[in-house]
Each structure stands twice: as C-alpha cells, then as structure tokens.
A and B are shown apart, each in its own frame.
Chain A
Amino acid sequence: MNAPSVSADLGSQLITLMAALMLVLQLLLVVENRVLTGIRLYAIQSLFLAGIAGVVAFFNNAVDVYIVAALTVLGKVVFLPWLLNRQVRRIQIVQEIEPLFNAPTAMLVCGGLTLLGYIVARPFTGLERLGNNTLAIAITLVLTGFFLMFNRRKALTQVLALLTVENGVMLAAIALTTYGMPLVVEFGIFFDVLVAVMILGILVYRIRESFASMDTSKLNQLKG
C-alpha cells in the first residue's frame, strides 16, 4: 500500500483482464456442445470471479471480501461443478443435442449482445470504481446467459446458463460497489445458489425418469 496509485493501477488492470477472460469463457460455453466441458468452463469462469474478489480484497485490505472469494472458490469452483458432474454421470449424458442456433450464428448473436451490454452500461461507467468496462462485461454475461438458456434445450445446460447469469450479477456487484454486497447478503445468495442447483438436480433427475429424456422442448403439455 506504499504506492497506492501504482498498485491500484495494477489491481485495476488485473481485474479488467480477469473480467475479459470471464467473457471469453462465456462465449466458449455458448458454442460448447459437451455438457462436461461446459461444467469445467463454468468452474474456470467462477475461478476468475473469485480472483477478482481476491484482487479487490488484497488492494483494499478487506477481510469480508476475502471471505467472499474463499466462498466462491469452495462453492462455485469446487462443490457445484462436482455436484453437476455427478448428476451428469447419474443420468448419463455426454453430448448436447443440436442447439437452436448453430455455433456461428450463436457467436454473432453474442457479439450483438456484447455490444448491447456496452451500450446499457455506458451511462454508468462513471460509477465503476474498478477496472475498465467491468460493468459492461457483467451485463453482457447476464444477457448471453439468457441467450444460452434460450438456445439450449437440455435441462442441465439451462442450469449452467442460470449459473453464468448469477456470475454476471455478482461481477456487476463488484464493479459497481467495489466491495460487493454486504457479507450477510453474499451468504444468502450463496446459500440460495447451492440449494437451487441441488433442487434443479432433483428435478432434472425426475424429468429424466418420467420423460426418458432431458430435452426440455418435450415439456410442452401445458398450454393456454
């Protein structure tokens, strides 16, 4: 902390770099067809999120943020991918069926969404305390997460999409407020995400049992 301007600058660059890598991983996830690889990509993306929290904690000496970073590593890098992997093995799927849009089209759409993310974030760039364009990336993560959910029909991939949306929101929280949300809120969100994945896992399993498929486009009985 002796040379705050230099170290803060370094921190800012690290954060920008890691946020950008999060976006790259998101784009890879959009075109990835294998669920298991998708889970790994999500784990790495979460690792970068934890890294960003760690950098923030280091340069601001914030104990609370260290806890958040540790929680992220434990929960989203280790536990959730393990849980998802187990579910994939339990229902034995390897390959995703054809997505709605093929890879080049999906890429194009994501490019458009990234542009949209930057436009939405523009009025708020003045609020960013860390990094450059982290908020824009966060909003892009949310938007592409929605698209990913829309594009895929396998229930587990939709769960993965939901998780990336949540990563985007957490990145937005760090980008806008430096320290993220108060610890009690982070705990609440963290707990909800864990429970959500477990419950979705149960549902996916039951859907698989009843429909002999995980294809959510077969969930089309209820109308009107």
Chain B
Amino acid sequence: MALLTSIVVVPAAAGLACLLPLPRRILAALNILAFGVALALGVALLRRVLAQDVVTECHEFLYADALSAWMVLLTSAVSLGSALYAGRYVQRDLDDQTITPGRAREFFVLTPLFGAAMFLVVLANNLGVMWAAVEATALSSVLLVALYNRKNSLEAAWKYVMLGSLGLALALLGTVFVYAAACKNTSEPFPSFNWSHLMPLAHQLDPHLLKLAFVLALIGYGTKAGLAPMHTWLPDAHSEAPSPTSAMLSGASLKVAIYALLRFHILTAACLGSGFSRHLLLGFGLLSMLLAPPFILVQRNLKRMLAYSSLEHVGLICTGVALNTPLTIFGALLHMGYHALAKPVLFFAAGNIHQTFHSLQFRAIGSGVVKMLPVTGLLMGLGAVAAVGLPPFGLFFSELTVISGGLAAGQITVSVLILAALIASFCGVLQQLARILPGEPKTGQAHSGRPFDGALAMVLLLGGLLLFSVWLPAPLLRGIHQAAGIIGGRP
C-alpha cells in the first residue's frame, strides 16, 4: 500500500475537489475527511516506522523515519482540529458578511493544499524537493492570511510572503551549497540529492560548504519558523489570518520549518560534530525565548499576544535540541506535540471572541468573557493554563524535561535563562488573559446565541492533550525516542 503517497495526495486531492461547485457543507466535510484520513495514515506510518526504521516510496522519492512520522502526526492532528473548527467559523463570517462566498471557497481549497505541502516537506527525501515544499507551504498560506482582504490583513500577507520568500531564497542557496558538497565527492553528473543517500556520506562532505549551508538554512528556514530576530512577520500573519489558519500556522507550519532546519542540523552535525550548528541554534533559540515575554506583556491584541507566545515555544524547542542531550531533545520533540495540541485551542477561542466582539483588542473586548461566552471562556482558560506550562498538562512535563536535561548536562546558565523566560511569559500570558476572562461584562454588548460554536474541536484537542499528558502510548513514546535518536545522532 502506498502509505506515504496517500498522506500527501489525499489532502491535495481534497483541496482540488473543493474547486468543484459543491455546497459549502460538503467542502467543510471534505476538509475534515482529508485530515482525518491523514491522521489515520500517520498512525499507520508510525507503526511501520517502528517496525522497519525507514519507509521509502516512489523510487525513494518519499522517505519517512520516526522524525517524519512524528511530524506527520502532529501536523495532521492540528489540521484536523482546524478543519473541525473551520466549518462553523466560516459560516459565521459569511453570516456577518465579513467574507464573500468566493473567499469561503478559497479557504476550503487552500487549507488542504497547505496541509499537503506540509506533509510533503516532512516526507520528501530530496532536500531540494523539501525546499520547494516549504516554499509551497508559504505560497498556499499567504492568500489564507489575506482572506479578509482588510488593509491590515493585506499588509500582514505582504510581509509574510516577502520576508518568507527572501528567507527561503537564502535557504535555497544553502540547499545548493549542500548539493555542491555532494557533487564534489563524485564525478557523476547528477549525484543523488536524497537524504537517505547523503546521510551515510555526511562525514566525507566538504565542511566549509556545509558550514555556509547551515548558516544560510538557519536564516532561511529560521525566518519561516519565526525565530528571533527574523520573526517580525509572525505576529502580523498570526493575528490577521482567520483563526483556523492561525492555528495551523502556529501549531504546524512553524514546526514544519523547524523540521527542515533540523535536517540541516543533523547533516551538519554528522559532518562537523554537533558543536557548530548546536551553538548557533542555541543562540537563536534563547534569543527567541528571551525576546518573547516583554512583547507578550505589552500586546494590546489577543492574537498577537498568542503569536508571541508561539515565539517563546519555538525558541524552547530550538534550545532543547541545541542542548543536545538525549533528554533535552526528547523534551523538545514532546514539547512540539503538546504545543501543537494546546495552541490551536487558544486561537479557536480567540476566533470565537473575535466574531462576538468584532475586535481582538483587549480594551474593546473588556472583561467578563467567561460570563458572556461560558464555554469559550472556560476552554480558553484551560488552554492558557496548558500553554503556559502548568500541570497537569503536558507542556509542564516537557518544559521540565528540557530544563532538567540542561541542568544534568551542566548547562546551568542556559537552564536558568530558560526558566526565567518561561516564568516571565507565564506571568505575561496569564496577566493579559486575566484582563478579559473574569469579571463582569461591559453593559450594552450583544450576547452571542451560539455558545457551543467550535467547542467540539477545542474539547477534542484539549482532551487529547490531557490524555497524552498522563498517558503516552508505548508506540508513540518509542517513536519520539527514536526521533530524538535521529536528531542526537545514534549512540
């Protein structure tokens, strides 16, 4: 059975099918179906990868190891949540005449294509194809960011696509340098550019070329991953996009870019030893973590605040990988998964708030969201508790794993910095949400008659988060360990 091919083709086909003149309900259902199938296939892929380490397909065009399988799982989970939420969300926007029916169709076409591009990134064997797929994720999501066609969303989309493309041009140059290194070792005209072919040769590659390639890839894919100081597009795009897209950008797309960066890190580490790429990752990761809390504190817009919180988490993931002990890498990968389940809940709740109050400014929302939107408010509170890393939610454990791993490795300064940044963003997020969630609502604001909008998606994601926080199934745990082994180099 063509497992890998289906993971890419099913969402792509669903996206194209949405071009047909079908009723909107069917379009929404097709989106859900596509990502549901992708999630099921992801589970099957995890089983296959555990059994035989590496799965390849289509003459080795597609390649999956435990790391890819893990990325497929979390991308499809986030996308499925978004698709479940999107049906009602788009309907409400249509009722409010915020978007036209044409734009709604655009949304249902582009979302699965965006998903398919992300799947191709993590399943591509060829590093050049991986680059093309990352560019495709940017291209398929930019019109989603611009969906509302307001001045601000157009500005956000323009910044997103220009900064993204500039960054990716550098990443392409980095990719070219890796290929040049591969060509240097052989006189064949077209040596294979496949990951499965490059990795065994890694130690023979030209170290100078790889160093330059890694720096370029770090800046390039780092821009797409929203690492500071290349993160400036991130709060704009996340705040102006429709909420299901914000959730996919933050929950999946940032991590997919990190995945691309990790592939370069693994290759460079295998060639040069881990020191060079590790230190660079550590610098950018810590900078992102330390830069986020002040911006969280001064934000006046709910979704921008959430975007800066994503910056914090992306920084933690990079730092965890950069500390380069089995424990911290494991923690970083675990954190990817938990963050992917927690952050969309917040964006969905923010979407409901936006549609009720017609603003995302804290001042305009005022206090008493829980009283006005009990379900949304409550779930948002829970999601926030999860996202800032309080027990019993998993982010607490993954953050603790990274910090304790850092301490065990003797990286006292780094661990203390991580802890300080986490505490600061913890205070920031809770303080900001305390302004809007509790209290009495402002008088004279219209009540929303539909309290359960989007609740299903939020409950499912939060439930999943809670379940996996207390109980990680044995195959999943093995999968993450195996993925951590791939990043850290096999013992």
Contacts and interface: CB of A to CB of B under 8 A. Distances in A.
Interface of A: 60, 62, 64, 123-124, 127, 142, 145-146, 149, 155, 158, 162, 165-166, 169, 172-173, 176-179, 181-185, 188-189, 191-192, 195-196, 199-200, 202-203, 206-207, 210-211, 216, 219-222, 224
B50 interface: no
Contacts of A181: 128, 176, 179, 193
Contacts of A142: 169-170, 173
Interface residues of B, number: 52
Contacts of B150: 210
A172 B129 contact: no
14 contacts: A127-B184, A169-B172, A177-B176, A177-B180, A181-B193, A185-B128, A185-B131, A188-B133, A203-B157, A203-B161, A210-B150, A220-B155, A221-B151, A222-B235
Contacts of B162: 149, 158, 162
Contacts of B347: none
Contacts of B235: 222, 224
Contacts of A191: 132
A222 B237 CA distance: 10
A98 to B, nearest CB: 20
B155 A221 contact: yes
Interface in B148-170: 149-152, 154-159, 161-162, 165-166, 169-170
Majority-rule SS of A interface residues? helix
A173 B169 CA distance: 12
A162 B299 CA distance: 32
Contact of B176 (A172, A200, A210): A172
A192 B240 CA distance: 24
A169 B169 contact: yes
B166 A146 contact: yes
B154 A203 contact: yes
A188 B117 CA distance: 12
Most buried by A among B61, B151, B206: B151
B271 to A, nearest CB: 16
Interface in B80-138: 126, 128-129, 131-133, 135-136
B156 A222 contact: yes
Interface string B178-190: 0110011000011
B169 A199 contact: no
A98 B190 CA distance: 46
Contact of B151 (A62, A176, A182, A211): A211
